[in-house]
Amino acid sequence: MFRIGKSDNPMIFPFTANYTTNLLHKNPTTGKLYISPKAAGADKFRYSLNWGSSYSSWLDYTGANTTLTAQPWSGTKTQEWSGEHVIVHYWSAMTGSIDHVQHADLDRGSLPPRRWPHAFIQGSWNQYGYDGGLSNEMTLGSDGLWKFNLAAEWPTDLIVNVWGINPDGIPDKSQALGDVDGDLVLDWVPPDSLARNVINVTDNPLKGHTGFQIVVNDGNYHYRLISIGSAWIQLVLAILLGLIPMVTAILGIWTFKKSFYHVKFNNIGIEENSTLNLVSFLPKLQDHDHLRDSVANILDKTKLAPRYLDMLRNASTGSLVVGNNPDNRRTVLIATMEYEIEDWNIKVKIGGLGVMASLMGKSLGHQDLIWVWKLLQSGFCSN
């Protein structure tokens, strides 16, 4: 069969004329789309405005302009596309085939031609699209090729799915492309086919690389795998991720200690006496016998050492000082702070007296605790 015609006629050149820039137009008066067919030799044609989701009925081919009727479409937001696109199928009795397809866009401008609305890579590395946390959408480059960078565990397998995941959450099967015979050309088989239509990536990337770039030509369905990624950069990054957290943690601790955390030890010299002048806290205690008796009663109830009773009873001397007498046991003064946020059901206790007393009673059983707050609550402040 000899075919003679222009270079944009898909009946003559089905592989190179499957996309044209002057097929689809828009009527400025009515706003409706129409096509100017360029497939002399065809007997019938049909069209689709929703990327093959549905087609019009077969129409007789006359070569005249044909107004297009809008077609319904439903899908996810990820499956939507921009702009107006038409797919036209042509049939003739002599060829006996409808595999004469022509794509066209409206006002595509300088953008590259497209024959798919989008494309997604699915495979065992992302559970064939069910793992939505991994990005798998291909991008259309300025050279008109679809590309996707993949780093996975090799070997792996994958498919090119034009529609991705449907609204029901299941991967679309209407246009899932693989490579059954391994000839680097995508195969489009029926969804019910028993053939395992996937691209088997059995080889590792070339030495010094970490992944593959999948490049697909939607005009002839040819694809190739290009080794990408630097293994040396990945090695340096792994070392930095292991060292930086440890170095920054040490640096943060050192900075905090130098800036805020100051602990001073008296290594030389004479230690100053640590004294507690009860008269400074209880002014004129010697003039109030009833206050002194109240203190004695409180100390009796708290069962403190008898020597503290003697100290308070002898406070009338004017100055009661508890020094660092080696014969006396150490005295511990406890302070506490606590608050409660009822709306959040949070209660915070910092240095709680009950907890501190319990801990110190276990670890420091030989110490005496002075409950200063009980003395204040008993009426010294009010008096």
Where do the domains of the chain lie, and which CATH numbers do they carry? 24-105 (2.60.40), 120-231 (2.60.40.3620), 276-380 (no CATH)
Per-residue pLDDT, averaged over 157-185, amounts to 94
Contact 192, 146 (CB under 8 A): no
Is the pLDDT at 68 greater than 50, yes or no? Answer: yes
Sign of CA dihedral 362, 366, 372, 374: positive
CA angle 46, 47, 50 (to 5 degrees): 150
- Confidence at 290, pLDDT banded by 50, 70, 90: low
- Confidence at 373, pLDDT banded by 50, 70, 90: very low
Contact 318, 277 (CB under 8 A): no
Per-residue pLDDT, averaged over 170-182, amounts to 93
- Provide the whole-model pTM: 0.64
- Confidence at 50, pLDDT banded by 50, 70, 90: very high
CA angle 48, 11, 183 (to 5 degrees): 85
HEC string of 6-46? CCCCCCCCCCCCCECCCCEEECCCCCCEEECCCCCCCCEEE
| C-beta atoms surrounding 210 within 10 Å | 18
Residue type, 251: L
- Confidence at 79, pLDDT banded by 50, 70, 90: very high
Q: Hey, is 59 helix, strand or coil?
A: strand
- Confidence at 170, pLDDT banded by 50, 70, 90: very high
Distance CA 5, CA 250 (A): 77
Arithmetic mean of pLDDT over the chain: 81
Encode pLDDT of 109-148 as tens digits: 889 999 999 999 999 999 999 998 899 999 999 999 999 9
Distance CA 317, CA 313 (A): 9
| C-beta atoms surrounding 183 within 10 Å | 9
**pLDDT value at residue 104:** 95
The dihedrals phi and psi of 322, each to the nearest 5 degrees, come to -105, 110
Between the two ends of the chain, the Cα-to-Cα distance in Å is 122
Distance CA 52, CA 47 (A): 8
Is the pLDDT at 76 greater than 70, yes or no? Answer: yes
Spell out the alpha helix ranges (H) of 192-230: none
